[in-house]
Chains A and B, each alone.
Chain A
């Protein structure tokens, strides 16, 4: 009979073989190195070209431009949401009288570039100066800010109407039937049953639409509204310093990333009851 007299020391596992240098790994390392070089290059560029005078002069302007961009987008999104409701109702209507015009409206604003719509409203309507003066609207259309708000509102209303329609259609008919069986009125059905479910579906597209609007709003700089991009162009045309554009890129990326993360958090929170 033998007894264990001595325990064998536990051995460490042999070291993993070094990761092989596959093509993918080399390519990945190369590309990360490239990004590193670009990142360091941008930081070096911004620090060597750091000019306190310019920063002092243009820094506040960038922030006021950012304010203009955000208020422009905020106002248009809210106004667009209001306009989108009748448009979406028209789109879902069974009568050609309502659905036809709504379809044309959505098709036109989604099928043409926002910049062309902006030019059509700002330059195109400017041509009817006499007529507009006679009905007292010239003061409104003379201001590029108002024209930008109008164009953006009409544009985003078309997109938001489609988002709304898609979201409402995603709610199954059983929900309507259930509400009817409970004796709820049409308005109650929508307010208490359909809209809360539809909004969850619509959440992500709405977030994407806001981001698209922030990015798209840069074009107002062309009709002389000094938003973030307008201030950037002004700073560049005065200093011929390329860092003007780099700073704008940093600003835009920051807002978009903040919004995107905010939206992800919101979606996670609002859909926590759907997690299994």
Chain B
């Protein structure tokens, strides 16, 4: 027991501080990915419900591809593909140099792309739940298209899409663990290093699982609070 506690302590003998930074990295990655994924997903949903055939099918191809690929494969495609692509570009420009992509950036791009593909579906079904009368009402009031979207549609859209987006956030949080495979020092990787050095694999991977669980519980509390807040501002129908 004492041995276990010293392994988990903060300081030179313990792994507490390394794992704590891992928690920060995991949360940082998920939080940095979120806005990018949400905005991209929103515009993809707009594209999917537009009347323009080309725009619609372009967005649909995007969703089909990134929903069908395993997240790990997307991550590797981004990580190695960007490195090779940038190197070719530099050779083409006449400045050959070794390019190393930061695993955090690669993780952000890959997870953001996957998140946007899924969130676009959530936004799309939320769009479909808003009756056409809302757009017509905005038009009748003389609002421009952008104003209608911003002042009338978006507030309702968020209320409808929130439960789906909350689920996607939980999935995103769990997917960040995959980025440890390309060397991001997140919870899982720090736990893995600690497990290899201390030969206490069960303890450290167990702690990694528990930390993810704590993050999930905290997020569900935050999501519930946001939902209640949004619910309060909404009209009862």
Contact = CB atoms under 8 A, between A and B. Distances in A.
Instruction: State whether these chains interact.
Output: yes
B58 A31 contact: yes
Interface string A231-269: 011001000001001001100110011001000000000
A107 B213 contact: yes
Interface stretch (A9-17, A19-27, A46-54, A77-85): A19-27
Contacts of A140: none
Interface stretch (B13-21, B74-82, B90-98): B74-82
Contacts of A115: 177-178, 180-181, 188
A245 B54 contact: no
Contacts of B208: 116, 119-120
A123 B200 CA distance: 9
A260 B121 CA distance: 15
Nearest to A215: B70
Nearest to B219: A111
B81 A245 contact: yes
Nearest to B204: A124
The range of chain A's interface size is: 35 or more
Contacts, number: 138
Contacts of A28: 47, 50, 52-56, 58
Contacts of B178: 113, 115, 219
B174 A112 contact: yes
B68 A257 contact: yes
A56 interface: no
A65 to B, nearest CB: 13
A123 B54 contact: no
Closest 10 CB pairs of A and B: A28-B55, A28-B54, A31-B58, A124-B202, A113-B177, A256-B68, A111-B216, A218-B70, A215-B70, A113-B174
Interface of A: 22, 24-25, 27-29, 31-32, 34-35, 107-108, 111-117, 119-120, 123-128, 211, 214-219, 221-222, 229, 232-233, 236, 242, 245, 248-249, 252-253, 256-257, 260
